[in-house]
Amino acid sequence: MQSIGKILIFAGVMLVLFGLLLSFSSKLPFGRLPGDIIIKKGNFTFYFPLATSILLSIILTVIMYFLNKR
């Protein structure tokens, strides 16, 4: 039963951190990195956050590596 409590606490902390990240995301450079692809033609805009996806993938990989190491 204690392990479920720890998991719920961890999930709650992660939700709070994710919520803070979303509320301050306008100040973060994610989504506007130099490698992101933006194509604008007339009233059509195509946006593909390539560099942002790679950066987030690296960050999440490092976090998951350290969480699984213990």
How much of the chain exceeds pLDDT 70, in percent?
86
Q: Is 32 helix (H, G, I), strand (E, B) or coil?
A: coil
pLDDT at residue 11 tops 90: no
Residue 41 sits in the same domain as residue 21: no
- The strand pairing partners of 46, in sequence order, are 39
Residue 43 sits in the same domain as residue 70: yes
Domain count along the chain: 2
What does the pLDDT read at residue 15? 87
Residue 12 sits in the same domain as residue 39: no
Per-residue model confidence as pLDDT tens digits over 15-47: 888 887 777 766 666 667 788 888 999 999 998
Residue 41 sits in the same domain as residue 58: yes
Nearest alpha carbon to residue 37 among 24, 25, 53: 53
| Ranges assigned E (strand) in 1-70 | 37-41, 44-48
Residues sharing a CB contact under 8 Å with residue 5, sequence separation 6 or more, in sequence order: none
Per the confidence metrics, is the pTM higher than 0.95?
no
- Whether 49 and 31 have beta carbons less than 8 Å apart is answered as yes
Residue 64 sits in the same domain as residue 43: yes
